[in-house]
Amino acid sequence: MKTQTYNFINKAINIVFWLCMIVLLWLVAQFFIFTSFIIPSNSMGPGLAIGDNILVLKSVIGPRVFNLFASMRNEQTKIYRIPGFKKIKHNDILVFNFPHPNSWDKIEMHILKYYIKRCVGLPGDTLSIQNGFFHVRGIQTPLGNMDSQKRIATTDKFPDGIFQSFPYDSILDWNIRDFGPLYIPGKGDSITLNQTNFKIYKKLIEWEQQGNLQCKDSTTFLNGKPINGYRFQKNYYFMAGDNGMNSQDSRYWGMLPEEYIVGKAWIIWKSIDPYTNKFRWERFLKVIH
C-alpha cells in the first residue's frame, strides 16, 4: 500500500513539474521569440483581414527587455533590446506599441495598445509622398501597397480629416498626397533647429530628453536653455498601412521610435470571420508579405 501511494505521489510530482516546465518554456518563448496578435481593423487590407491571428517574430530584430509592471501602470520605462539576427528592411510588416495612446503631441508607450503597419522609411532615409506615392531618395524599390496609393492619387474628394497630415503646419501644408521631403533620423544624426525642423522633430526631441522644447523669436530652447542644433540618440521609422485611405499611420502622427517595435509579422496561424464566427481555412498558415 505504501509503495502504491509513493508511486502515485511520485507520478503526480513529475506531472506537475513537467507542466510547470512547459508553462515556463511557453512564457520564455512569448517574451523572447514570438507572440500572437489579432488584427483589429482593415488598415492592412487586403493582405490582413479583421480576425486574422498572426505570429510576430521578436527574435528577428531582437526581443525587448523592460519593466513590464511599470509599463502596465502606464509609467514610462527604459527599454533595452537584445540584438536580433536581421535588420528591419523596407516593406517589412511590423507590430509596435502605438506611440500616441494619450495625445498626438507627446510620445508615450502603452503596453496594451498595438498597431501593425508596413515600414516604408528607415533611419537615414529622406522620404516624400508625390501624388499619393511613397518615394525614398536613392531607393527604386516600390514602397507600400501600390493599389492603395493609386486610389489616393485618383481620388478627387477626401472625407473630412483624411487629407491633412503631420505636422499639421499651414506653412508646410503637407497632406497624404503631397508630403515632405522628410528626413528620418537615425542614432547620431544631427540637425539644425530652424523653425521648420522645430515643428517636425519637436516630439522626438522632447521624448528623448524627457523635457520641453520651445521656439521663441527664432531661437529654440530645450528646458529653458538655448540650442542651435540637436544630435539624435535613437533610430526612427516611418510606418504606413496598406489600406491608405483608412489607416492611422506615420502620415498623421509622425515617426516611430525603434524601442516601440515588438517584432516582424510572419504568418497567419488562425483566421476567424468576426461576423459569422466561422474559420477562414484558406487563410490558415498564410505567410505575410
* Cα–Cα distance measured from residue 195 to residue 190, given in angstroms and rounded to the nearest whole number: 15
Residue 53 CB neighbours (<10 A): 16
| Exposure on the CB side of residue 137, measured as CA atoms within 13 A | 11
Sorting pLDDT into bands at 50, 70 and 90, what band is 1? low
| 5 has pLDDT over 80 | no
Query: Which of 127-136, 153-162, 172-181 has the least mean pLDDT?
Result: 153-162
Q: DSSP letter at 211?
A: S
| 199 has pLDDT over 70 | yes
Q: Cβ(231)–Cβ(190) under 8 Å?
A: yes
Matching residue, cell 507542466: 19
Q: What is the mean pLDDT of residues 178-185?
A: 97
Q: What is the mean pLDDT of residues 54-60?
A: 91
Mean pLDDT for the chain overall = 91
Which pLDDT tens digit goes with each residue over 81-103?
988 888 999 999 999 999 999 99
Distances (CA, A) of 163 to 50, 100, 127, 188, 236: 24, 20, 18, 33, 24
Sorting pLDDT into bands at 50, 70 and 90, what band is 2? low
